[in-house]
Amino acid sequence: MKEIKPEHYVDTIIYSVDMIIKNLKNELKQKVDKLGLGITGEQFVVLDTIFCNENMYQQKLSDILMKDKSNTTRILKVLMKKDLITRTAGNVNNRLVYMLNITDKGKTLVKTNMPKIKKFIADIFQNITDEEIDILHSMSKKFQSDLESSKVN
């Protein structure tokens, strides 16, 4: 077993990663909100996730975005009201689910604004090399794999 060197939670990698993620999400949310899309940054993330994933349904969406069902439902209602997505009855593993589909209006919103959002992300990481980002991705996968295998034990 590896010795845990930090003596306090705020000195651990868990705390560091948590702070980075919270700060990144907040920064991106603020930048997306400034675009004046008519939806929030959080709603745009949901819309983009539906755009990128066929056969999406609410539980799958909640799992991907790590959001609870009630929060996901609230966001989906807003997106439906704005005619950016639709829900249709479907079947997954012999269970009734509502399939989420992005409308043409929603697709246009994502396609039009994704280049601006990519620019925001590039600006945030301007002092990090491509190699460092690749290392971070690799380490993230290792952390996730270790976390998944530790759940089994």
pLDDT tens digits, one per residue of 48-80: 999 998 879 999 999 999 999 999 999 999 999
Written as six digits, the tokens of 149 are 């295998």
Confidence (pLDDT) at 94: 86
Phi/psi region, residue 83 (left: phi>0; alpha: psi -120 to 50; beta: rest), is left
Q: Please report, for the chain, the start and end positions of each structural domain, with discontinuous segments joined by +.
A: 35-114+128-152
Q: What are phi and psi of 125, to 5 degrees?
A: -100, 25
35-114+128-152 is a CATH 3.40.50.11540 domain: no
pLDDT tens digits, one per residue of 21-54: 899 888 888 888 888 899 998 899 999 999 998 8
> Average model confidence (pLDDT) for the chain?
89
Phi/psi region, residue 86 (left: phi>0; alpha: psi -120 to 50; beta: rest), is beta
User: Does residue 101 surpass a pLDDT of 90?
Assistant: yes
Closest CA to 100 of 50, 59, 52, 64: 50
H helices within 53-90, ranges in order? 58-65, 69-81
Give the separation between CA 94 and CA 48, rounded to whole angstroms. 27
pTM of the model: 0.80
pLDDT category, 8, cuts 50, 70, 90?
confident
Q: In this predicted model, which residue has the larger pLDDT, 5 or 121?
A: 121
